[in-house]
Structure 1
């Protein structure tokens, strides 16, 4: 898998580029086709960032990411 920087991830926010990507636990997921991520927004969360620290506030567990295939690795 290709490695992407936080700056590269930030551009995939549904606004700057048409892709809608988010990171979770070091992996990057493409949410572009998800109905829950229209225009790069999912409730109060925005695409193009690492959502790992925000999961504690979510009404779901990390198992939600099992529905998606990781497309990259977030550079440390």
Structure 2
């Protein structure tokens, strides 16, 4: 079973406060630390450490972009 993290804990994994770079999508937290597109904790106008579920609607790609990343936790409701 995957660990659960609060939004506050997710926010710390923004690539600035800690080395980890995480984003959430549909309740799952993904580690995007190794992605060159998230290297500084941001990807275009999106910032790591956040739930990107609503923002994906405006992205030029689909949710399948998350398939290449590992789910490392669940976002607490």
**TM-score where L is the length of structure 1:** 0.98
Q: For 1:21-32, what aligned pairs fall within 5 Å after superposition?
A: 21-32=22-33
RMSD across aligned C-alpha pairs, in angstroms? Answer: 0.5
Find the residue that maps to 1:73 and give its secondary structure: strand
Q: Considering fraction of residues, name the structure with more helix.
A: 1
Give the match for residue 67 of structure 1.
Answer: 68
Q: For 1:1-76, what aligned pairs fall within 5 Å after superposition?
A: 1-76=2-77
Find the residue that maps to 2:29 and give its secondary structure: strand
Structure 2 gaps of 5+ residues are none
**TM-score where L is the length of structure 2:** 0.97
Q: Aligned pairs, how many?
A: 76
